[in-house]
Each structure stands twice: as structure tokens, then as C-alpha cells.
Amino acid sequence: MAKNIAVIGDAESVKGFSAIGIDIYPCSESDEAARLLRNIADSETYAIIYLTEEVYGNTAKERLRYEEKLIPAIIPLPSVTGNMGTGRKRLSSFVEKAVGSDIIFNN
Amino acid sequence: MAVMNVNPTRMQLTKLKKQLKTAVRGHKMLKDKRDELMRQFLELVRETKDLREKVEAELENSNNHFVNASAVMSKEALDASLMSPKQQVNIETTSKNVMSVEIPQFESSARTSDSGDIFPYGFAFTSFELDDAIVSLNNVLPDLIKLAQYEKSCELMSAEIEKTRRRVNSLEHVMIPRYQDTIKYISMKLEENDRSSRTRLMKVKDMLLDKAHNYSGKQ
């Protein structure tokens, strides 16, 4: 079944994504973001859910449930306020988990 | 020496030997699986890292255009021009099996036949910065989808590698030594029983001979 892409984040950051065919869920409160994430991830209409780094940081507990599942893929993206390096940290945490120590990002 | 709580019998010994053989074979196979997964994982991580850097740079570029657009247009006009999107990205998800790890494959398709057909507004009343922003965002979309696929694969593979590593370690350092020790314990116990019954037999034989022929010379 064909699925869609969603993006959750502050209105400024996500606005543009609607033009290229991605469903946007603007929200500013972290509680609301967590609820939104749960709702749209459980609805199973989305294969990929992008989160701005702020939302990503605030929804650690909710994200845990989807870690082992094939879909949805929950991916952090930098917002308009600038890059906080969440994506890099996330990748490095994968390497650390698999290898035991970070051998890719340590330079 | 960690010996399992088993009866030192020949049947138990055969059973344990069989189990040890399975454990050793399983260990070898899991180790191969771990090594191969690790190789593929590291390859994927390197690719993902480059892709993420690229995507983040492009997103920043697009965000800059957006900020410029919102500077020259009123907020209402900007919101209104983006209000009714034309496009819809559809994702066809399939999965690929890599060393028993299911990783997702995303295949994207646009709703309209022309994927360049993205502007949901007329050009008359909008800033060219907005066009730039949307074009650059549209250009990054394929990479964005690929990034999602790669990162999810990394996530799933790292979890599997961790699990496999634990299994390999537990087999190598706990299960296999325990089997070996128990096998040694049982075979030693059996040999001991063997010796003890042999000496008993020799003793009995001596006693019988003694009785029959009176070797010791006693009356």
C-alpha cells in the first residue's frame, strides 16, 4: 500500500514541505508534538516521519516504540533556527551500539 | 570450573557432546553473521554520514531562501500561497533482507505526472525567493527519502548487531566452556567409576581364589 510522508515541527520550518507534497503538522508545544507523533505514527499512513530537531529531542519516549519497527522511519532534520547536530549524534549512537565505540565520528 | 547440574551418566555425556557440537557450530555461524553485518553496517553508515551532510547543507540553503521570502512577503500572503498543495508524494515500501535483518526500501512517486509541477500558486504575487526555496526543497526530496531509508536501516542493523554480538559472546564465554567442563567432569567421573569397579572386581577375584586354593595359607 502506498504511504505518505509527514513532517512535524514549528510552523516556520515545516511550511515549505507542503509545497513538495509532504503532509505538514505544525506545532509548537512539546506535549502536543508527542501526541501528534503518536497519533500519526499509529495511523500507519506514513512511511517516513520527519521531525525538527527540537521535536525530536522532546519525544524520546514516544520514539522508543517505533525503534524496532520497519516503518515508520522517524528522522530528525534541522529547523530554520539552525543545525544542532542531532542527526550526527544519532548516527554516532548507532555506531557506538553496533561496534562498542564510535569509530566513524570521533575525528 | 562451571559444571552444570547433571547426572554423570553415559547418556548425559552423549547428549552434552551433541549439544556442544551444535553450540560450536552456532557460534561459528553467528560470528560470521556478525562480521558480515558489521561490514555492511559500516559501509552504510559512511554513506549515510555523507548523505546527511549533503541533505543538511541543502536544507539550510532552502531555509535561507524561505527566510528571505518571508522577509519580502507578508506572512498572510506566504501562508496563503502554500495553503493548497498540488503535489502529494507517495511512498511504496518494500523490505529487503540483509543477513536476516529486514530493512526498508522506499520507492517514491508523485501524484501528478510531472514531478516538476510543484508550485501551488501563481507567480504574479509571490517573491522569486519563494520559488527558489521550493525548487531547492524539491531537489533535495529524493535524497531526503534515501536518507530516511538509510538511517532506518542503520538503526535496525545496529540493534541486530548488538543482539548478535551478545549471543556470540554468551556462546563463546559461557555456554561452550560450560559444556566442555561438564563433559570433562562426566568423563572423569565415569573413568573413576570404571577404575573403582575394576579394583573391586580384582579384589573379589583375589578373595574367591583365596577361598578356593587357600593361597594365603590360612586355615
pLDDT of B167 higher than 60: yes
The yes-or-no verdict on residue B210 having pLDDT over 80 is: yes
> Considering chain A, what percentage of its residues have pLDDT values greater than 70?
97
pLDDT of residue A27: 85
Give the pLDDT confidence of A25-68 residue by residue, as tens digits: 888 887 888 888 888 888 888 889 999 888 888 888 888 888 88
Q: How far is CA B170 from CA B29, B33, B166, in A?
A: 14, 15, 6
Rounded distance between C-alpha atoms, residue A26 and residue B168, angstroms: 46
Spatial separation of the C-alpha atoms in residues B136 and B97, rounded to whole Å: 34
Mean pLDDT for all residues in chain B: 87
Residue B219: band (very low, low, confident or very high) from pLDDT cuts 50, 70, 90: low
Nearest Cα neighbor of A14 from A90, A84, A81 is: A81
Domain extent listing, chain A: 4-80
pLDDT of residue B162: 93
**In whole angstroms, what is the distance from residue A36 CA to residue A62 CA?**
10
CATH topology of domain A4-80: Rossmann fold (3.40.50)
Find the radius of gyration of the CA atoms of chain A: 14
B1 confidence band (pLDDT: 50, 70, 90)? low
The residue with cell 530554520 is A80
According to the model, what pLDDT value does residue B159 have? 92
How does pLDDT run across B34-72, given as a tens digit for each residue? 999 999 999 999 999 999 999 999 988 888 888 888 888
Residue to substitute from B152, B162, B165, interface A, most A β-carbons within 10 A: B152
CB contacts under 8 A, B 49-68 vs A, are 49, 52, 55-56, 59-60, 62-63, 66-67
Residues 140-179 of B with CB under 8 A from A: 141, 144-145, 147-149, 151-152, 154-159, 161-162
Q: What share of chain A is helix, strand, coil (3-state, %, to 5)?
A: 45, 25, 35
pLDDT value, residue A68: 86
- Give the Cα separation of B216 and B209 in Å (integer): 10
**What pLDDT score was predicted for residue B25?**
96
Chain A residues with CB inside 8 Å of B138's CB? 19-20
Whether residue B218 is predicted with pLDDT greater than 70 in this model: the reply is no
pLDDT(B189) > 90 = yes
CB–CB of B38/A98 below 8 Å? yes
CB within 8 Å: A91 and B67: no
Mean pLDDT of B128-141: 83
pLDDT at position A86: 86
Q: Assign a CATH topology to domain B10-188.
A: Helix Hairpins (1.10.287)
Q: Which residues of B193-216 are buried (b: 16+ CB within 10 A; e: fewer)?
A: eeeeeeeeeeeeeeeeeeeeeeee
| b/e code B143-167 from CB counts within 10 Å (16+ = b) | bbbbbbbbbbbbbbbbbbbbebbeb
| Amino acid (1-letter code) at residue B98 | V
Q: Pick the range with the lowest mean pLDDT from A16-30, A86-100, B164-178.
A: A16-30
pLDDT at B172 over 90: yes
